[in-house]
Amino acid sequence: MGKTPTAVLFLVLMAAVIVAVDVLFFRHLFWERLMSNVGIVLVFVAFYFRLLKQP
């Protein structure tokens, strides 16, 4: 699998996790939803740089 399809799959997975968490847990709580979304993005960025960003 090339670099571009992996990155696209990674972004789609991140978006799916964010939407699922929003709908299931924080539907009417704006600030909690915002903080959890930022946390999820930071976790995905850390995994991307640690596992997928290899020379």
Q: What distance in Å separates the CA atoms of residue 32 and residue 22, rounded to the nearest whole number?
A: 9
Mean pLDDT in consecutive groups of 10 residues from the start of the chain, 55 residues:
80 95 93 95 91 71
Question: Nearest CA to 52 among 15, 44, 37?
Answer: 44
Domain borders along the chain are 3-52
The pLDDT, as a whole number, for residue 31 is: 95
Backbone angles phi, psi at 53, to 5 degrees: -90, 75
DSSP letter assigned to residue 49: I
Contact residues for 7 (Cβ-Cβ < 8 A; gap 6+): 52
Largest CA distance in the chain: 42
For residue 48, the 8-state DSSP code is I
What pLDDT does residue 55 have? 59
